[in-house]
Structure 1
Amino acid sequence: SQWDSEIEHFAAGFNYGRFSDVTEKSKQCEITCYTNEKLSDALLTVRRILEENRDQQADLMLMPQELTTDGIGKNAAIESRNAYEVFNHFFGEIPIRNINISQQPQVSIAASWPTLIFLPFTAFYDESVRQRLFEPVIGLRDYGEWEFYHEGVASHEIAHQWWAHSVMTSSYHDAWLNEGFATYSEALHLQVTKGTDDFKRYMRNLRRQVFSDVGNGMSLAELGPIWLGVRLSSLDIPQGRHLIYVKGAYVLHMLRMMLFDYSKKSDECFIKMMKDYVRTYTGKVATTEDFKNVVEKHFDRSMDWFFDQWVYGTEIPIYSFNYDIEEAGGDYFLTITALQNNVSSSFEMPIPFVVNFKNGHAVVHLTLKGNEAMAKQFHLPQEPISIEANPWNAVLCTIVQ
């Protein structure tokens, strides 16, 4: 066989075996999924049990004929094609347009190579079948966490065709540009295909992981800056590198939210920035500073403060807010008093607030610096009925009452 690429790559992956295949095409891409002709040993065991025991079928709500690989490749191909189209919209075109997706027998391991993706066989089944297979086949009990992984594994690996295989990175210091961006790509795919509620749920889960306990009285976020890459892991805390996935995703999310036009509900500025980055560095090696230069171009100002805090630093703020509403002569005035804690005196961050009215809403911003309280008054067009601080989890933080 012959394998060709329009751009140079540091590595290539191949898979071999007896497969059935199905292809999904669009104007942007062609996705071919390969499924094993034979079931794995684990699935063969479950199928035999189901065939011999009707009570087990009822308990699991699963029929033996559901445990086949015929046809399931089409679902994976459609999902992967949709993910490609979402990323093409947000990030722009790349040279890689033909992608092959292959099953592999592990349940929690995936890998992305240029034009070739390995997915766990469980990713080819829909959520209902996975849930019923989860305990009897896999033997694990934390279904929610396991399903969270499967919910985004295909789109994550598709995203690596942008982040790693089209735009390459210089060293382990820049690995967050690959894994963090691919993780946030999962969130964008969820937002487009399943809606805002699923997107917000996903971001809450990422935040929970950032603050998760890794032992020795430390959270994942406290291990070090994401710029350290794989060096965040150690023999005592091997999962440390996971921070580049979850906090790296949040860094991109915060940049998106600072560029977001709340009045038009538009991502136009964010999309322009990401397409510029992809267009500039496709087929090239990019560093964190290269990405920062693109960000500064689209923010039209120095972004040293942001990268020093969120990429090269470890501080995460804690906020408390109070609101006072006054009416005078038919006009309404909102005073927001805010306190930022748990950061150094130079730490600054703009916080958005959505003010909801009976008809419509308005968005106001308050930029806090250091650990001192700040108050600011806003003139409102009508009487507010509610105020939401930090909508869309726009800033990685903790809010206390």
Structure 2
Amino acid sequence: MAKFEPTLKEERYQMLRFVDAENYVTTFLRCVIFSTDATVSDLMTGVEKVPAGDMNTPTKIWHDAREGLFGTYDRPGIDPQLIRVLSNGGNEKAFRWVIHAKGEHSGIIVREPFEDNSYSFLRFASSDDPSDAIPIVECPPAGQSDNTHSSGVGRSDLLAVISHKLNTRIERSNEMFVTDDVVAVLQYDSLNWLDFYISTSLDIDSLYVNGDLVKPAHFGRKPDEVGGGFYVPVPKGAKAGDTLQMRFVYKGTVIRRIRDYTLLTSSILWYPQHGSRQLSRFHLTFTHPPSMTLKSVGDMISSKEIDDDHITSTWQPSYPIRNASFNIGIYKERKLDAKEDVPTSSIYYVTSAGIDNVSISVSQALEFYTKLYGKLPVSHIYATEMLGYHGEAFPGLIHLSDEAFANFTDAFFQEQFTAHEISHQWWGIACDYDSPRDRWISEGFAEYSALMYTQLASTSKSKFFDLLDKYRNDIYGRGAGTIGKKQLPPCVRLGHRVSIGGENNDYNNFVYYKGAWTLHMLRNMLIDLSTFNEDKFMSAMREIYAKGRTQRMSTDTVRAVFERYAGFRLDWFFDQWLYRGELPEYTFAWKKEKQQDGTWKVTMRVRQSGVPPSFFMIVPITVKFDDKPPVRFRINMTGEQAIMEMPPLPDEPDEIIFNDFRSVLCKVSTESF
């Protein structure tokens, strides 16, 4: 029998989506176990073992399982986590248990000791082929979390990167020559190799560790492959806490010229990366043709012309940051008017058609968010146009899609897109999230901030609610996943893994849109229905931002802040909307009866479906009259059906609105009582 019991509640829900139970338990027909220690012997004690054949004539199950770890002759590619264990002595306990069971219960159980989530379960996408297994569940050992240190260093990081000193020369051909001096501290004893990643368009020329010229390794890859993953040797005898000084010298082309645009093909893999969440100090020097304008993260320390063909500028962020980037192009510049407490800002653009609209959005959004949340820790914002249908934000630097400039009549790009990227200066950068499971604190908060900006800036009074409706329809419109029958909707807490085994747009629909809807529901739960005072919600958002300036924000910390302003526990709310994914549907009916004393008796019936019977929600009700002000109150809804009677009304009600102001993410239909 094989068993996998997820240690986190969001992962138990994820298991339920794919195997119809919160724990994986199956009797297997056959299995293959790979292990770096005595795990195989321990697991197989008392089990009758049948030889699977030798290495030269493997059975299909052995052949398929081996390919999953080591690749094929035509497609070499050793599992990176296996490389980590084997290249560093193989002393850490790692295993992969490939299980063939009846029906749809075949899967793979994995332990990867150098991962934040060291245990994972993969389910076969087809009935008997482990080569296309999909990682469904990932979780840390029992009693542990996958939260990172405040510096961003997690269990998966073999070293803490303290600083990068990058000297980059960009030629007219767009070829880039870079030297990166890295200072880092080892996190483990007895390490032999450290894994780094860089764009596949870049090639390492030379590598030095503590002054010695060394040769990087490319385990499991063809010798002529450029860039990508590579491994740096650790000096013999080095132990945890030792400092390494590394110099990477490399070159290549990550900058492409397309018509009038210069495209940076990798915004962060233009320098060697180890770990994706670490905070490091950066000192950046760029040399480039004077015909081009370059803007980087950080404050510009100096800029000077070297000769007729080159200009050099030096940039340095004032505090440790997660990712460093830049943008370069033949730009026109527009400086925006300075405002009190708001960083100065400039736009660098190619497309002139929409520059006025983009300028208004950038200027107004910066002022709006500063008043709403507080000051930013940067003194200047550079918004730079980039070819493509996406945007990306870094400390003080924004990559804006050319669509924001050219397609300024589009309802989304006119306000939402630019406002979303601007809001990332607060959410995801100045206030960063803790674990990858907390990504909604970046994307959901940024998306709802953009919605609130639209509520203020749009000339259409209905646009805010129109966008909420669109997001709701996209969330509810999710189709069947890629594995098996139609799945339950994914939960927000899966973070970047939300699309696994599902649909490509799940990340956008659930981390962005449902994350934003979660804040909208909290906002309307905290609002005073008689005065529409929103001080509680706005104060909570300001406090979350202020806390995030000194610590990485987790979902639990966000919940604790909202609980303090709500005055009651919200664990039920966060469990339903972030840790699980079921979506409610309500059918509402009401009737009115005039009483002998002239008052009106109103009875309401609510049917709830699509969620467990225990699902609980606070729903606002608005009673409208022909010539009197409306009456507003909230009801507590749980169970499959509830029948409620209002207190006697002195006047005849004309209309009753269930879930007014789109206060709950749900579908609502009406029926006769």
**TM-score, normalised relative to structure 2:** 0.49
* Larger helix fraction of residues: 1
Q: Does 1:153 align with 2:411?
A: no
Q: Does 1:354 align with 2:622?
A: yes
2:605·2:641 contact (CA, 8 Å) conserved in 1?
Answer: no
Change (3 A) 1:223 1:339: closer
Residue 349 of structure 2 is matched in structure 1 by: 35
2:664 is aligned, of 367, 374, 395, to: 395
1:33·1:77 contact (CA, 8 Å) conserved in 2?
Answer: yes
1:230-309 alignment runs, 5 A limit: 230-234=496-500, 237-242=503-508, 243-309=510-576
Q: Tell me the alpha carbon deviations over residues 154-193 of structure 1, each in whole angstroms, 9 at most, x when there is no partner.
A: 0000110111111111121000111111111121111111
Q: Distance in 1 between matches of 2:486 and 2:393?
A: 25
Q: Distance in 2 between matches of 1:190 and 1:320?
A: 30
Q: Tell me the alpha carbon deviations over residues 179-236 of structure 1, each in whole angstroms, 9 at most, x when there is no partner.
A: 1111111211111112541101010001011012344499999342110111112376
1:180·1:247 contact (CA, 8 Å) conserved in 2?
Answer: yes
Q: What amino acid does structure 2 have at the position aligned with 1:368? A: M
TM-superposed CA distance for 1:385, in Å, is 1.9
2:648 is paired with a residue of what secondary structure?
A: strand
Residue 426 of structure 2 is matched in structure 1 by: 162
Q: What amino acid does structure 2 have at the position aligned with 1:35? A: Y
1:94·1:282 contact (CA, 8 Å) conserved in 2?
Answer: no
Q: Sequence identity, in percent?
A: 28
Change (3 A) 1:196 1:75: closer
1:209·1:220 contact (CA, 8 Å) conserved in 2?
Answer: no
Q: Tell me the alpha carbon deviations over residues 306-328 of structure 1, each in whole angstroms, 9 at most, x when there is no partner.
A: 01101101121111111122333
Q: Distance in 2 between matches of 1:233 and 1:319?
A: 27
Q: What amino acid does structure 1 have at the position aligned with 2:591? A: D
2:391·2:401 contact (CA, 8 Å) conserved in 1?
Answer: yes
Q: Tell me the alpha carbon deviations over residues 7-62 of structure 1, each in whole angstroms, 9 at most, x when there is no partner.
A: 421012211122211122222322211112xxxxxxxxxxxxxxxxxxxxxxxxxx
Q: Distance in 1 between matches of 2:610 and 2:529?
A: 28
Change (3 A) 1:241 1:216: closer
1:224 is aligned, of 485, 490, 493, to: 490
1:1-400 alignment runs, 5 A limit: 1-24=313-336, 25-29=338-342, 30-36=344-350, 69-70=351-352, 72-106=354-388, 108-125=389-406, 127-128=408-409, 147-148=411-412, 151-194=415-458, 195-216=460-481, 222-234=488-500, 237-242=503-508, 243-328=510-595, 329-357=597-625, 358-400=627-669
TM-superposed CA distance for 1:72, in Å, is 4.2
Q: Tell me the alpha carbon deviations over residues 340-384 of structure 1, each in whole angstroms, 9 at most, x when there is no partner.
A: 222223210011111122232121211111223231323335332
1:31·1:100 contact (CA, 8 Å) conserved in 2?
Answer: yes
Q: What amino acid does structure 2 have at the position aligned with 1:118? A: H
* Larger strand fraction of residues: 2
Q: What amino acid does structure 2 have at the position aligned with 1:120? A: S
Q: What amino acid does structure 2 have at the position aligned with 1:20? A: K
Q: Runs in 1 of length 4+ with deviation above 6 angstroms?
A: 217-221
| Structure with larger Rg | 2
Change (3 A) 1:311 1:181: same
* Structure 2, gaps ≥5 residues long: 1-312
Q: Distance in 2 between matches of 1:344 and 1:236?
A: 22
* Structure 1, gaps ≥5 residues long: 37-68, 131-146
Change (3 A) 1:220 1:100: farther
2:475·2:513 contact (CA, 8 Å) conserved in 1?
Answer: yes
TM-superposed CA distance for 1:110, in Å, is 0.9
| Mean Cα deviation higher: 208-217 or 165-174 | 208-217
Larger RCO (CA within 8 A; separation ≥ 6): 1
Q: Distance in 2 between matches of 1:114 and 1:298?
A: 30
Change (3 A) 1:314 1:380: same
CA RMSD across the alignment: 2.3
